[in-house]
Structure 1
Amino acid sequence: MQTEDNVLPPTQLSEDTAVCISVKGLKESWQKWSDEHQEYQKHNPFTQDTRPSVVVPQRGQDDYGRPLQGSMTEQRGKDACTHISREVQELCEVIRMIGERRDKGGSNSKWKVITVEFGKLFEHYVTISNKLVGILLRARKQRLVDFEGEMLWQGKDDQVVITLMQ
C-alpha cells in the first residue's frame, strides 16, 4: 500500500493509486484556497465575521471607500477612469471641430472661446457615442465645458450653448 510520503514511480501506479494522488492534490488545492479566503475575509469590512481582527477603515483614512491595492476591483476602476477620460477628450475635440469661435469678454477682447449648441453637438455626436449627456456632465465637473442647467434633454435643450473652456 502507498502512503502520502512514499510515492511509487509512474510505471508502478495502478488506476486506484492515480485516483488517490489526484484526490490528494484536489484536497491540498481546496485547502489552500480556503486558507486564503479566510485570510481575505479578516480584512473584508462587509463580512459577518465578528472577530476583533477584522479591520474596518474609518472615515478620513486614505483607504476609506477604496478597493484593496492590487485587487482586480482597483484595476477595473483605473481602466474605467482611463476610458472615460479618453471619451471626455474626444468630446472636447469634436466641440473644437464643429464649434464657433467667439469673443469671451466683448467685441475687442483678446480671449476667444469655442461654443456649440447642444442640438448641433447631439446630431454630430450621436454616431460616436450614445452617452453624450453623461460625458458632458463629466467634462463640466472637470471644468472643461460649461452650459446652463443641470441636465440637457434632446429637443427641449437644443438651443443651449455649450462653451469649451480649454
Structure 2
Amino acid sequence: METNSMITVAMETEDEVPEPGQLSNDSATCIVSVKGLKDNWQKWSSEHQEYQKNNPFSHDSRLSVLVPQRGQDDYGRPLQGSRTEQRGKDAHTHISREVQELCEVIKTIGEPRDIIVTGSRNTGKVTSVTFGKLFEHYVTVSNKLVGILLRARKQGLVEFEGEMLWQRKDDHVVITLVQ
C-alpha cells in the first residue's frame, strides 16, 4: 500500500463545490475556499489598518489617537493596561525588592554608629559599612551592587560620597544606611 503525500487543493467559488467522488481517495485532501482566503485576508488587512491608526510610529497621517504632549500626565508612559505597562510594574517591584535586600545586608554586616549623617536630618544611631566589605559580601547575592546602591541613594535610603563606586579604588568609602 503506497501513501501519497500530495495535497489536492480544490478551488471553489460560492456555487462550485466539488463532489466527494471527484477527488482521489488515496491522496491527502485539503479543500481551501478562495472566498475563505479572501475573507481571512480582508479581516487581517482591516485589523492591521486599525492598528496602524493607533501606532504613533506609523506613516499613516490619519492617526485616531491623540499623542500626549510634553507636560501632560501620561506623556512618556505606556498605554494603561498594555503589556509594556505591566513589564514596567514588574521591573519596579523587582528593583524595590533588591533595594530592600541591600538594606537588610547592610544592617546585618554593618556596624552601628552614633553620628550625624551629612546631608540629612537624622541623628543618633546609623549603620555603616565600607564599600569593599559590602562588595565582598554582596557579590554572592547579586552582581548589580553599584546600580542598586545608586537606586537606594536616589530613594534616600543610603548615603555615600562620590557619584560612582569602583571596586578596589573606592573600597574605603563608607556607605551609611539612613533609614
**Band of TM-score, shorter chain:** 0.7 to 0.9
Task: Indicate yes or no: 2:112 matched with 1:112.
Answer: no
Among candidates 68, 75, 88, match of residue 77 of structure 1: 88
Task: Indicate yes or no: 2:152 matched with 1:163.
Answer: no
Among candidates 55, 60, 83, match of residue 71 of structure 2: 60
The code of the aligned residue for 1:151 comes to: M
Bigger strand fraction: 2
Please state whether the residue corresponding to 1:60 is helix, strand or coil: coil
**Structure 1 residue ranges without an equivalent (≥5):** none
What are the Cα deviations for residues 73-128 of structure 1, in whole angstroms up to 9, with x where unaligned?
1111111111111111111110010001011239xx97210111000000000011
Query: Is the contact between residue 43 and residue 56 of structure 1 (CA under 8 Å) also seen in structure 2?
Result: no
Match for residue 144 of structure 1?
157
Please tell me whether Structure 1 or Structure 2 has the larger radius of gyration of its CA atoms. 2
Q: Percent identity, please.
A: 74
Aligned residues: 161
| TM-score, normalised via structure 2 length | 0.75
Task: Indicate yes or no: 2:31 matched with 1:19.
Answer: yes
Distance verdict in 2 for CA 1:64–1:26, change over 3 Å = farther
Structure-1 separation of matches of 2:172 and 2:35: 71
Query: Is the contact between residue 140 and residue 146 of structure 1 (CA under 8 Å) also seen in structure 2?
Result: yes
Among candidates 41, 47, 56, match of residue 45 of structure 1: 56
Match for residue 100 of structure 2?
89
Structure-1 separation of matches of 2:68 and 2:172: 47
Distance verdict in 2 for CA 1:31–1:68, change over 3 Å = farther
| TM-score, normalised via structure 1 length | 0.80
